Each structure stands twice: as C-alpha cells, then as structure tokens.
Amino acid sequence: MKGPVTLYSYQARYGMRLQRLTVDGGFTCPNRDGALGTGGCTFCDNDAFHPGYTHGKSISRQLEAGVAFHGKRSRKTDGYLAYFQPFSNTYADLDTLASRYEEALSFPGVRGLVVGTRPDCIDTDKLQLLADIKSRGFIVELEYGIESVYDQTLRRVNRGHDFACTRKAFEMTAEAGLEAGGHLILGLPGETREMMVESAQVLNTLPVSFLKFHQLQILKGTPMAAEYKERPGDFLRPGPQDYIALLADILEQLRPNIAIGRIVSSVPPRFTDTPWGLLRQDGLMRELIGCLNGRNSFQGRLYSPTTATP
C-alpha cells in the first residue's frame, strides 16, 4: 500500500537493490580554495561526514573498502553506486573529472554515479560528460547542495552563491536529460518555522527528483558555532518531535512526485556540542509517517502548482 510519503527507493527507480559507496574523489571546493573564499560555508566541517574507510586511498581502494564495510552489514545488493560526496565533485577540468569518474565506473559491480556538488560548479560541458556516461547505460544522479531557498540565509552562511544559481543548475541538468536531487538544512540562522515551511512552494517549482533534509547540526570549531554562542535566539533548534512536525508541515506542501531520501544526519558525537543522540533514519522516517497518518494527511495534501520565488 502506498504510504503518506514518497520514499526514495532504488528498487522503485531502477528495479534494483543498490548500495551507495561514499568516495572522496580528491576534489576541493571554490569556497575553500580561494576561488570564492577560504572560510567555507559557516556550518561546514567536511571531516565530520567522511566515512573512515575513504581516508588517504585511491578511488578503487575506497570502493573495495566500502564493499567490505557494507558487505558485513547490509543485505544482498544488485550493485553499487559510487557516491562522490565530500566537497564539490564537479569542480575540476573535464579530463580530471572523466578520469576519476571512469575509475569508479570500472570497479566491479558499480552501476553508476551519484555526484554531489555546488550549483555554481556545473556547466553544459560537465553535464554533457555525465549525460554521455548515462547513455552507456549507467545510472547518473546529481545531488546539489541547496541548503536554503532564501538569499538572505545563503549570504549569512557565506554560501557564495544565490538561489538563482541553484535554479539555473537544476534547469540545465534537466535540459541535459539528467536527474537531480538536492539537500536542505532546516534551522539555518534567521529562518523562522514559517519560512522553512514556505520553502516547499519554491522547491516545487524546480525540476528536482528527490530531496534530502537535514536538521542543522552545529559543529565544534565552525564559524557557526561561534555565531550560535553569540546569538542563540537567531536559531530555531527543534528537538526530534518538533522536527518531525516541521517536516510533516513541509511535506504537506511538497509536490507528491518528489522522492524523499534522508531526513536526518548524524555526525559522530565528538564533532558537535548539541547532539540529538543516535537518531536513525529508519526510526525517524517511521515517526514522520506516523505523524502524517495521525493527521490523516500525506505528502502533497496542500500542494498546488505555483510560481513562487523567494
């Protein structure tokens, strides 16, 4: 039976059980290497999101280690997706991109790529490179960091691009015949609950196939940790139950054919002063589904096509 949330599922999308293997492709980020700035987004500490098995290894060795790591824990898979996750994985010249993607694609069992990147690190040539890979029968998904649909927030977190740039990246990706998803952070400074819920109406106008939501985690030593200490009242910090209710409000407004992937992120406790404890995606998703069922509601209940812009 179809539930109240359109869940992201490889089985539904590709007819296969696939395992994502995180790969550090050795890229950097224009918001860190000086092209745009050196400080990065104020919330960023990439070390908090690297699985230990990626450190200091070639792409093939990382995939090997990823297979060994997940092989112990996960059910049988029909193949793997190489998930280029840390930093900006389209931020290099075409030859470099091609050689790193091809190394991953040549690994036994890899069925395709998931490429995480910034919206300002994409252009038609890079999209064509990925479209060519897709035309060879591989799965290709792009995952853009949206973070917020509000320019005032993007400026405040030192993102280095505006929402118009995000919109353009999604539109170019769709024109290239590629699927794109995005991720958002709920709780960035200056955003009210109403703003977060209204974000859904803006997201509905993007050609976006899937979304991931993350509660804001304030990581030790980041500029955001200092900002939070100074102005805690600028941050909405819902606990898990309020976060579920917020997500339910957002999903009610969201286009029903946008698949929902992760709704929580957990970094190891040593990285943050404000942990929620060990929250698991499955448990939180069950609670979100229960919350919507309790309201006799579902994703898209309040959706109507709109041309809203932030």
Residue 247: CA count within 13 A, CB half-sphere: 30
CB of 29 to ligand SF4, least distance (A): 3
Q: Which is nearer to ligand SF4, 50 or 231 (CB)?
A: 50
Give the nearer residue to ligand SF4 in terms of CB position, either 70 or 159. Answer: 159
265 binds ligand SF4 (CB under 6 A): no
In 223-268, DSSP assigns E strands to: 259-260
- Region for residue 148 given its phi and psi (left: phi exceeds 0; alpha: psi -120 to 50; beta: otherwise): beta
* By the rule CB under 6 A, 46 interacts with ligand SF4: yes
Residue 172 within binding range of ligand SF4, rule CB under 6 A: no
Binds ligand SF4 (CB under 6 A): choice among 19, 22, 23, 40? 40
Sole binder of ligand SF4 in the list 87, 138, 150, 228 (CB under 6 A): 87
Residue 238 interacting with ligand SF4 (CB under 6 A): no
Q: How far is the CB of 245 from ligand SF4 (least distance, A)?
A: 27
Considering the rule CB under 6 A, would residue 44 count as an interface residue with ligand SF4?
yes
Shortest Cβ distance from residue 196 to ligand SF4 (Å)? 19
Find the Cα–Cα–Cα–Cα dihedral 299, 305, 309, 310, rounded to 10°.
Answer: -20
Contact 130, 102 (CB under 8 A): no
Smaller CB separation from ligand SF4, 120 or 141: 120
Smallest gap from Cβ 157 to ligand SF4, in A, equals: 8
Q: What is the dihedral of CA 257, 193, 310, 306, to 10 degrees?
A: 40
Q: Which of 5, 29, 92, 216 binds ligand SF4 (CB under 6 A)?
A: 29
List, as one string, the DSSP characters of 167-206. Answer: HHHHHHHHHTT-EEEEEEEET-TT--HHHHHHHHHHHTTS
Task: Provide the pairing of β-strand 18-23 with 79-84.
Answer: parallel
Q: Is 83 in the site for ligand SF4 (CB under 6 A)?
A: no
Nearest 5 degrees, angle CA 210-CA 279-CA 13? Answer: 25
Identify which range of 39-47, 65-73, 107-115, 218-226 contacts ligand SF4 by CB under 6 A: 39-47
Span interacting with ligand SF4, options 28-36, 49-57, 214-222, 234-242, rule CB under 6 A: 28-36
Return the number of the residue (102 or 123) whose C-beta is nearest ligand SF4.
123
Check residue 122 for interaction with ligand SF4 (CB under 6 A).
no
For strand 139-147 and strand 179-186, is the pairing parallel, antiparallel, or unpaired? Answer: parallel
Question: Are 267 and 219 in contact, with CB atoms under 8 Å apart?
Answer: yes
DSSP letter at 7 equals: B
Residue 184 bridge partners (DSSP): 147, 213
**Site of interaction with ligand SF4 (CB under 6 A):** 29, 31-32, 40-41, 44, 46, 87-88, 118, 145
